[in-house]
Amino acid sequence: MATELDHDCPNCGEERNFYRTAATSLHLGLKTKWSCPECDYGFIRIGGDITSATA
Ligand SMILES: [Zn+2]
């Protein structure tokens, strides 16, 4: 699985190459945490869906 992900960062206001900080297997699918390399913005994905954002 990829450990980098191009995604728009609402904090930076442009696309960043997010890096994966954690991965946990759930019955719903793989839960992964991603962080912006330029600021503290991060979000969580379960399977292919972004489920929540953390500051
Ligand atoms: Zn950012």
Domains in the chain and their CATH numbers? Answer: 4-49 (2.20.25)
10 Å Cβ neighbour count for 36? 19
- pLDDT tens for 2-27 read 799 999 999 999 999 999 999 999 88
pLDDT in tens, 22-54: 999 988 889 999 999 999 999 999 887 777 665
Distance 46 CA to ligand 1 centre (A): 20
Q: How far is the CA of 1 from the centre of ligand 1 (A)?
A: 22
If DSSP codes are grouped into helix, strand and coil, which group holds residue 5? strand
Where does the pLDDT of residue 1 fall: very low under 50, low under 70, confident under 90, or very high at 90 and above?
low
Give the burial class of 11: count Cβ atoms within 10 A of its Cβ; 0-12 exposed, 13-18 middle, 19 or more buried: middle
Q: Does the structure show a pLDDT above 60 at 55?
A: no
* pLDDT at residue 11 in the model: 96
31: buried, middle or exposed (CB in 10 Å: 19+, 13-18, 0-12)? middle
Q: Do residues 23 and 8 touch, judged by C-beta distance below 8 A?
A: no
